[in-house]
């Protein structure tokens, strides 16, 4: 029975687990196919696609937008013929997937919000009358965010 425990990425990538070398070899195959496909496409299309997989002699290409998907679909029949003739690949058709690019979300930077001059004055007055020194400091710090203009 196979263990369901997570395997370290290092073991997986270095082939120390049965079957992992097949995963790496599959990734290399997809990279080589991507290079072949890109070499046969116009430069603009080539830059916007990659081979996602090959299933049942169908070459699955991925691109990042519907517009490029339409362009790649247009080149599909010629690409199939060229891959058969020049490279001996048994590909019957192409399928195009739209995979939006991954966006990295930058951490949100909290913007310091200013308070009105009137509110700042009120906070200072309240802080002056407090006995708790920590609360007094906190309210004074908050009051210092006040705008210099009168509202």
Sign of CA dihedral 114, 119, 121, 123: negative
- What pLDDT, in 10s, does the model give residues 48-90? 999 999 888 999 999 999 999 999 999 999 999 999 999 888 8
- All CATH 3.30.300 domain ranges of the chain, comma separated, are 15-98
Beta strands, E only, the chain:
49-55, 58-63, 93-98
> What torsion, rounded to 10 degrees, do the Cα atoms 67, 91, 37, 44 define?
-20
The helix/strand/coil state of 55 is: strand
CATH class of the domain whose range is 15-98: alpha beta
- What pLDDT, in 10s, does the model give residues 13-55? 455 555 567 788 888 889 999 999 999 999 999 999 999 998 8
Evaluate if residue 112 carries a pLDDT over 70: no
Strand bridging mode 49-55 / 58-63: antiparallel
Largest Cα separation within the chain, whole Å, is 89
Average pLDDT over residues 125-150: 84
Residues 6+ positions from 71 with CB-CB distance below 8 Å = 44, 45
Of the candidate ranges 14-23, 102-111, 136-145, the one whose mean pLDDT is the lowest: 14-23
Separation of alpha carbons 16 and 66, rounded Å: 40
Give the pLDDT band (50/70/90) at residue 1.
very low
């Amino acid at each position: 029975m196979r263990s369901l425990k997570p395997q370290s990425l290092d073991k997986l990538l270095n082939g120390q687990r049965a079957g992992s070398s097949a995963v790496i070899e599959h990734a290399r195959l997809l990279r080589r196919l991507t290079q072949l496909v890109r070499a046969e496409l116009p430069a603009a299309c080539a830059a916007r696609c990659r081979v996602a997989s090959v299933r049942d002699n169908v070459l699955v290409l991925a691109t990042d937008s519907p517009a490029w998907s339409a362009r790649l679909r247009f080149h599909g029949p010629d690409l199939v013929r060229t891959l058969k003739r020049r490279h001996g690949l048994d590909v019957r058709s192409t399928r195009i997937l739209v995979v939006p690019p991954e966006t990295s979300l930058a951490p949100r930077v909290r913007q310091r919000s200013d308070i009105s001059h009137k509110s700042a004055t009120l906070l200072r007055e309240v802080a002056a009358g407090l006995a708790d020194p920590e609360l007094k400091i906190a309210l004074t710090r908050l009051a210092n965010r006040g705008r210099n203009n009168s509202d």
